[in-house]
Copies of this chain bind each other. A is one copy, B any other.
Amino acid sequence: MNEFKLPKQVQLCEVAPRDGFQAEKKWIPTEEKINLIHRLHQAGVTSMEVTSFVHPLAIPQLKDAEQVVAAVRHLPGLALRALIPNARGAERAFQAGIKEVKCILSATDAHSLANTNCTVDQALVRIQSIADYSQSKGIKATGSISVAFGCPYVGEVSPQQVERLILSYTRLGIQEISLADTTGMANPRRVFDLFGKMRDRFPDVTFSAHFHNTRGLAQANVLAALQQGIVEFDSSAAGLGGCPYAPGASGNVASEDLVFMFQEMGIATGTRLNDLLLAAQEMKKVVGHDGGSFLLQAGVPKKHEQPAGQTKEEKS
């Protein structure tokens, strides 16, 4: 019998408050955002991308970044992360009390221009200033690479291009890097191969994965990444999110679907599935829709049914 190499534990980062909300045109009141972050925290979420410090005119939905962070930054055991596009964003994040900022970079110029109105090389200049600022203030800068598994504008993205960008990040002192399948073009073999190559090439980098479920492969891609030793994953309650500038993009993998898979496989997430489901239901109610969530539709199987609001961690 073959061996199935799976970890005992994973670390999830909940991104609905950033990646989910930013995709919503209709204004979500600040108090609703704060309430939902509380609900997610109560479900056991320990890491969350709570907002983005972008220009209010670029993403009006997140113009309340400071207020949101002020209201949730002291929640016990919750590590906050904010996405930032430039040094001005890093400055705002620092002043708001954020300890970890995430830089964004696209694997292709076409996506970079569509998403952030600059080429990849221009984005690297911005990131240099973020890295400098962060180091001077003692906050952690992490990085992401969008469309790392394929680009909706140009198609294939070579491992060499991804390697080049990771190298650029590491030269700026950024050692925690997320590879993102922004529009659902990854497949398990590509995920396995790319993470394998990049882990071999950059043994000191901590990699995480960010998968969208556009073509139904997010969970299979997570399984492939797990087998390559990746244990950090982004997910979004109710499957909300998607890149507004990427044609055909749909939601992030739903946190409740991912937690369900891990729990079923006996892999600890620290999250309580039933409470997370309640938070996702609330999220769906507030936003008016979900972004593709199987668990919200099918529920947990009978063997797992138990009272909501429990505090003991579930065992599969």
Contact = CB atoms under 8 A, between A and B. Distances in A.
Contacts of A5: 2
A200 B150 CA distance: 38
Contacts of A268: none
Contacts of A250: 297-298
Contacts of A187: 261, 264-265
B185 A301 contact: yes
The number of chain A residues touching the other chain, given as a range, is 35 or more
A62 to B, nearest CB: 26
In the complex this chain forms, how many copies of it are found?
A: 2
Contacts of A2: 5, 192, 196, 227-229
Given A4-B227, A213-B216, A213-B294, 10 more contacts: A1-B197, A150-B303, A152-B302, A188-B223, A189-B264, A215-B301, A216-B295, A219-B220, A250-B297, A250-B298
B220 A301 contact: no
Interface of A: 1-2, 4-6, 150, 152-153, 155-156, 183-185, 187-190, 192-193, 196-197, 199-200, 213-217, 219-220, 222-224, 227-229, 248, 250, 254, 257, 260-261, 264-266, 294-295, 297-299, 301-303
Nearest to A253: B216
B216 A257 contact: yes
Contacts of A183: 301
A294 B215 contact: yes
A1 B219 contact: no
B4 A224 contact: yes
